[in-house]
Amino acid sequence: MPGSFVPASAELWRFLPEIILTLAGTFLMVLAPLVRDRRQNALGYVAAYLFFAALAAALAAHLDPGPAFQGLLVIDGFATFFRVLVIVVGLFTVLISFPYLGREHADRGEYYALLMFSVVGQCLMVASGDLIMLFIGLEISSISSYVLAGFLRRRPQAVEAALKYFLLGSFATAIMLFGVAWIYGMTGSTSLMEIRNGVLKLGQPGSVFLAAAAVALIFAGFAFKVSAWPFQVWAPDVYEGAPAPVVGFLSAGPKAAAFAALLRVLVVGFAPFSHRWEPLLWLVALGTMVVGNFAALLQNNIKRLLAYSSIAHAGYVLVAVTTHSEIGTAAVMFYLAAYALMNIGAFALVTHLGGKNEQFLNINDYAGLGARQPAAAALFTIFLLSLIGVPPTAGFFGKFYVFRAAIRADLIWLTVLGLLLSAVAAYYYLRIIVVMYMREPKNGVAEAPPLSGALGAVVWVTALGTILLGIWPSLVLRAATEWALLVR
């Protein structure tokens, strides 16, 4: 078509981050068997440098935005924002994995390759302009995540976590794919823009109902990825059994990519049905916040508590998605960036303090941490306060923008209930702080070595980012507000 031709060089340039990560992951896979066991950690440093290269490529690709491969990918500010976010999450995960894998005698190059492949899938998801490409990205990310969850295959809990994640994820993917096939049968296309034009032409009430049902099926697949109610049952068991650095990765990277893809699908492809999918999102957002917050009150295992916390935060993000507005999209972008910082930081500390075989995961094991390791306790407190939403932290402004968008969209009851549930959440986060500072030290995390090395650097950087976004939210919000307009 005239005016639609895109030079091959431009397409490859826009696809450069995925090319780098794919080649890098393949290189590490081939190289791993050739490297001696005691030198496998060197592959981790190679992976970190390659993640930096992919990050630079993502920023460079933004200098020449536009479609690629006949609209299968759309490189715009929105895609760049989430590309950078998931690549940074992958980089941080590599850095916090060094000491953990060495401590567990599981330092293998395949681990870093799987991280790269998972991030490749996430990058495809956030830039997809077509449901088939989105599905391919989702599967690449998911399959790598299943293997990462069970990477410590000699640990029964990890194997159980991977099996549950794989089985439930397969069912959710099948449901989503059925919805995609249904939409293709009705509109004759999987392109989001063509789907939008196709659903506008549906005149018969029966056809409109079937299209709305297909939207619900597609949404079910996304709901599983973001651990939204009623598809959240996998999260606590997987978070408890999977390696701690992998849990931090799963809670931030795939979740951000899934929300980005969900926004594109709803806002671009199914915008004409917004009056039909808004009640569904309203109900799911409320149910997710209720289940996540009240179930977290009963947890003593720190990883399970943070798993239910992750479910609750997915509910807050869904509140902003429900608004179907530019300000809501910007709020989602800001919230996910803030959440990635505070959650990666929190799981980095859990990784460090858990000890060999993650033996110190009970909340009471954190007794006396404030006296024995004041720096680690203070940093953990920053992350917990941000998860609550206490100023001046990124979490405060994240919730502020989410609920402000909900009020402007006249979602008053959802806003009121969300704020009340946020107050419930304060209890289980403050409980950890009380244990750290107001309980006598005992054998547990207080005996862990001081923070140092790459893991310590990640903790300090994420803590600094959490505070900076709480003081100057415009560092991210300005770009989020500008690029949110591009989703339409």
Report the C-alpha gap between 387 and 394 in whole angstroms.
9
Tell me if 292 is assigned to some domain. yes
Q: 33 preceded by cis ω (within 30°)?
A: no
Read off φ and ψ for residue 40, nearest 5 degrees. -65, -30
Q: What does the CA dihedral 219, 221, 227, 233 come to, rounded to 10 degrees?
A: 120
Which DSSP letter does residue 289 get?
H
Tell me if 294 is assigned to some domain. yes
Read off φ and ψ for residue 276, nearest 5 degrees. -95, -40
Tell me if 1 is assigned to some domain. no
Ranges of beta strands (E only) in 91-172 are none
Tell me if 2 is assigned to some domain. no
Tell me if 3 is assigned to some domain. no
Which DSSP letter does residue 108 get?
-
Report the C-alpha gap between 415 and 229 in whole angstroms.
18
Question: For position 103, what pLDDT does the model report?
Answer: 86
Read off φ and ψ for residue 128, nearest 5 degrees. -75, 135
Please name the residue that has the structure tokens 């899938």: 121
Ranges of beta strands (E only) in 23-122 are 66-68, 73-75
Cβ neighbours, 10 Å, residue 230? 12
Q: Considering its fold, how many domains does the chain have in total?
A: 1
Range of the domain at 49: 9-487
Tell me if 434 is assigned to some domain. yes
**488 residues of the chain, pLDDT tens digit each:** 334 566 777 888 889 999 999 999 999 998 888 877 667 778 888 999 999 999 999 999 988 888 888 888 999 889 999 999 999 999 999 999 988 888 888 888 889 999 999 999 999 999 998 999 999 999 999 999 999 999 988 888 889 999 999 999 999 999 999 999 999 988 888 888 888 888 777 766 667 778 888 888 999 999 999 999 989 889 999 999 999 999 999 999 999 999 999 999 988 888 777 777 788 899 999 999 999 999 999 999 999 999 999 999 999 999 999 998 889 999 999 999 999 999 999 999 999 988 888 888 889 888 888 888 889 999 999 999 999 999 899 999 999 999 999 999 999 999 999 999 999 999 999 999 999 998 887 766 656 777 878 899 999 999 999 999 999 998 888 888 888 775 65
Please name the residue that has the structure tokens 């077509």: 130
Report helix, strand and coil shares of the chain as percent, to nearest 5.
Answer: 80, 0, 20
Tell me if 437 is assigned to some domain. yes
Question: For position 444, what pLDDT does the model report?
Answer: 65
Report the C-alpha gap between 111 and 116 in whole angstroms.
9
Tell me if 227 is assigned to some domain. yes
